Amino acid sequence: MSPALPLTAAPTGPSADARDAVARLRRAGRRRLTLATAGLAALLVGLVLLRVTWGTYQVTVPDLVRILGGEVIPGASFIVLESKLPRAVAAMLSGAALGAAGALYRRTLRNPLASPDILGVTSGAAAGVVLLLAVTAGQAGGSTDLARAGAALAGGAAAAAAVFLAARSIGGERFVVAGIAVSAAGQAVVAGTMLSLAQHDLQSATVWIAGSLNGVTWGRIGLMAAALAVLLPLGAALHAALAPADVGPDLAHALGARPGPTGAAALAVGAALAAAATAAVGPLAFVALLATPLARGIAGGRPSLPVAALTGAVLVVLADVVAAEAVGLLAGGAALPTGVLTGAAGAPLMLWLLLRQGAVRAGARPA
Amino acid sequence: MPPTALAAPAARRAPARPSAAREGVLFGLLPLALLAAATVAGLALGARPVPPAVVLDTLGALLTGRGVPEGIDAAAVAARVPRTVTATLVGAALAVAGAALQGATRNPLGDPGLLGLSAGASLATAAGIAVGLGGSTAAIAGLAALGTLAAAVAVYAVAAAAARAGGAPGAPSPVALVLAGAAVTAGATAATTALLVLSPTVQDRFRFWAIGTVARADLGDAVLLAPVVGVGILLAAAAAPGLDALALGDDLAHGLGRRPGRTRAALLAAVVLLTGAAVALAGPVGFVGLLAPHALRRLRPATARALVLGCALWGAVLVVLADVLGRIVLAPAEIHLGVTTVVLGVPVLLALLRRPGVGA
């Protein structure tokens, strides 16, 4: 959009000084956004490099380059290509998906606590996957990665639909509490179904359910990457189209936007993104909730889907470095599921968001 | 309508005072009879159904100290005694804790699980076991009570601070409490999982306990903690008359000669005792504290004391039946108690959200 247009339209418009000041401010805002994007991208590259090279098994950068170039170094090649690299890529992609999903929910529902993980989408997706595992337990071959992703999507969509039906409207506190209830139901389904799994499936499901990058495979990463290639541009377009909704539904209508249908589409894309990430790496607690306010802070208060996605990716790669390698160095070889770390870090942040009163003040208003 | 709806039934039905007989039947005799029936069902049903005659026979033999009679059926009944007794205690404790929480915070969404108290109790227990304090059941119950108290204080402080920051000082809104409870639950669960992964000792003790269950109940533990549950229920019942006044708001309660601070302190103590004991016995069992009091308010108790005592009996019936249900749906496999109560409780919570004064 052109900043000069509305200002020159009025004959008794503001002076050239004021116009310059506004233009300067807008330039500064855009510069901050570009800087934030570039800075986060650089940080992400650095963290991925750290994740692949550093840890209980160290790989030097020249060796890494040779391995990626196709050379086979006994031992190192296997560890990099089958463990370290897939984990780093999966962390990056799932973090980006969750960050983008959080930004879409935040903008549509205009509530800092409304993220796919609080609203039960991730636990619904987890319930879908565990139910699939239970159903296919006896069959030869078990479940394919594609069926897993489909089950996660169906579970996430069912949870989102249940929340909508219970709360009857988008937004508001009722919506958040309905999400908490649906989330509890999803977790109960997961816990109940896990008991009927055979020992082999149970072990892989237990790791996956805590939100872990341990069991990730290139097949699952490929599926997630394909889903993201479609969903991320779509989400970015919807996120931009929802910009007028930031000033409230009435004003948005007056500005010619259609927040209702666009918002519903944004929530659907957000749920699909969260389900895609959950199918690949399990329910990573709080990433979607954490990424959005952090991204806003980094970008100087401007909501931006790419910045949120990059923030999510940085968070998950960082959490994975700490959970898998740093804890291991400190506590003698032990490793935490990545989801445990994001959950522990996310709880204080959620309390802080509560204290920041936006949500609660909205709750005190009559419906 | 006051948020707790504790005083509401009396107001709606002003002309006809309920007869004491009706109260006695609905909140005393009927649930007692049902509890007896549920206990027999709990002992008879399961992977191996046992005829009621054998159940009564075995029960009589056990109660008169003659030992377990011969036969597989009698052995099955004897094996189901600890879990049925534990389910009774857990149900009574959690239902009364829910009623006390709802009254003390004037919040219809009060439930030890929903407000993060059970998760706090679990974390404290896991931490205690990790540092080697979990030797005895009494120690575990003490840790669970401490964790409950810490979680209650944290949740209430955050929700009250949020209400102040939002320009509405006073009692925090139900939704603010639930959100703070969800945050505390998430953090405590993550920390508990971390302890589980890092400490083999904790994992060994906790493996079957992360979701609420009475499948591994022990009769000795139940007998040990039964007095704690009893004291908690009596404390809540003693403080209950203050609840009727509390429902009118602190100022009016003062005007009526009540002391809201003292009532709240007594209720909180009851909640801590009851939740601590319930978590120590069965792990986190959700939504019982929500289900029982709300269902009972439909029966219109005349006083809060009738509600509290009714909750103790009806809560026990609910949990014993939920345990039986979990055993027969997928027999010979079991659905754990914590799963059954959540599946039963979520629709109730969603229905409650539609009430005026609860949600937005």
Domain boundaries, chain B: 81-353
Interface confidence, given as ipTM, is: 0.73
- pLDDT one-digit tens code per residue, A247-279: 666 666 666 666 678 888 888 899 999 999 988
What CA–CA distance (Å, rounded) separates B360 from B356? 8
Average pLDDT, chain A: 80
Q: Which residue has the higher pLDDT, B114 or B354?
A: B114
* Nearest chain B residue (CA) to A354: B162
Do the Cβ atoms of B173 and A210 come within 8 Å? Answer: no
* Residue A99 neighbours by CB under 8 Å, 6+ apart: A287, A288, A291, A292, A295, A308, A309, A310, A311, A312, A313, A315
Residue A365 has pLDDT above 50, yes or no: no
Do the Cβ atoms of A184 and B346 come within 8 Å? Answer: yes
Residue A4 has pLDDT above 60, yes or no: no
Residue B96 has pLDDT above 90, yes or no: yes
- Please count the other Cβ atoms lying within 10 Å of the Cβ belonging to residue A32: 16
* Nearest chain B residue (CA) to A173: B360
- Which stretches of A277-340 are assigned E, i.e. beta strand? none
Residues of chain A positioned with their CB less than 8 A from the CB of B166: 357, 360-361, 363-364
- pLDDT one-digit tens code per residue, B25-75: 777 788 888 888 888 888 888 777 888 888 888 888 888 877 777 778 888
CA-nearest of A326, A333, A221, A232 to A279 is A221
Rounded mean pLDDT, A123-142: 79
Do the Cβ atoms of A360 and B163 come within 8 Å? Answer: yes
Highest mean pLDDT among A307-311, B18-22, B249-253: A307-311
pLDDT at A166: 78
Identify the CATH assignment for B81-353 out of 3.40.50.720, 1.10.10.10, 3.40.50.800, 1.10.3470.10.
1.10.3470.10
- pLDDT one-digit tens code per residue, B246-259: 777 777 777 777 77
Asked if residue B148 lies in contact with residue B125, where contact means CB atoms within 8 angstroms, the answer is no
- Report the SS3 class of residue B258: coil
Residue A9 has pLDDT above 50, yes or no: no
Share above pLDDT 90 across residues of chain B, in percent, rounded to a whole number? 15
Residues of chain B positioned with their CB less than 8 A from the CB of A340: 190, 193-194, 197
Residue A360 has pLDDT above 80, yes or no: no
Residues of chain B positioned with their CB less than 8 A from the CB of A168: 354
What CA–CA distance (Å, rounded) separates A120 from A109? 15
- pLDDT one-digit tens code per residue, A180-189: 888 888 888 8
Q: Does A189 touch chain B (CB under 8 A)?
A: yes
What CA–CA distance (Å, rounded) separates B83 from B66? 21
Listing DSSP states for B17-54 in one string gives PPPHHHHHIIIIIHHHHHHHHHHHHHHH-SSS---HHH
Q: Does A188 touch chain B (CB under 8 A)?
A: yes
Q: Does A182 touch chain B (CB under 8 A)?
A: yes
- The CA angle A288-A289-A293, to the nearest 5 degrees, is 110
* Residue B299 neighbours by CB under 8 Å, 6+ apart: B26, B27, B310
Give the dihedral of Cα atoms A173, A176, A180, A185; nearest 10 deg: 110
Using 50, 70 and 90 to split pLDDT, how confident is the model at B171?
A: low
Residue B9 has pLDDT above 60, yes or no: no
CA-nearest of B96, B240, B119, B274 to B191 is B119
Rounded mean pLDDT, B254-283: 84
Q: Is A37 exposed, middle or buried (0-12, 13-18, 19+ CB in 10 A)?
A: middle
Rounded mean pLDDT, B216-228: 86
Residue B146 has pLDDT above 80, yes or no: yes
Residue B231 has pLDDT above 60, yes or no: yes
Fold for domain A36-364? ABC transporter involved in vitamin B12 uptake, BtuC (1.10.3470)
Residue B112 has pLDDT above 80, yes or no: yes
Q: Which member of A334, A340, A363 has the closest CB to residue B176?
A: A363
Asked if residue B267 lies in contact with residue B258, where contact means CB atoms within 8 angstroms, the answer is no
- pLDDT one-digit tens code per residue, A66-90: 888 878 888 788 888 888 888 899 9
Give the dihedral of Cα atoms A220, A221, A227, A228; nearest 10 deg: 150
Rounded mean pLDDT, B319-330: 87
Residues of chain A positioned with their CB less than 8 A from the CB of B183: 347, 350-351, 354
Q: State chain B's maximal CA–CA distance in angstroms.
A: 69
* Residue B120 neighbours by CB under 8 Å, 6+ apart: B147, B148, B150, B151, B152, B154, B184, B188
Rounded mean pLDDT, B331-346: 82
User: Closest Cα of chain A to B161: distance in Å?
Assistant: 7
Residue B6 has pLDDT above 70, yes or no: no
pLDDT at B94: 93
Share above pLDDT 70 across residues of chain A, in percent, rounded to a whole number? 80
CA A21 to chain centre: 36
> Alpha helix (H) ranges present in chain B?
8-12, 20-24, 30-44, 52-63, 72-104, 117-130, 137-165, 174-198, 200-206, 219-246, 250-255, 260-282, 288-297, 304-329, 337-353
Rounded mean pLDDT, B131-152: 84
Instruction: Please state the pTM of the whole predicted model.
Output: 0.79
> What residue segments make up the domains of chain A, in order of their start?
36-364
pLDDT at A249: 65
Residue B100 has pLDDT above 70, yes or no: yes
- CA distances, A260 to each of A235, A238, A245, B3 (Å): 16, 12, 9, 32
Residue B306 has pLDDT above 70, yes or no: yes
Rounded mean pLDDT, B96-119: 85
pLDDT at B1: 38
pLDDT at A273: 93
Give the type of residue at A67.
Answer: I
The total number of residues shown for chain B amounts to: 360
Residue B243 has pLDDT above 80, yes or no: no
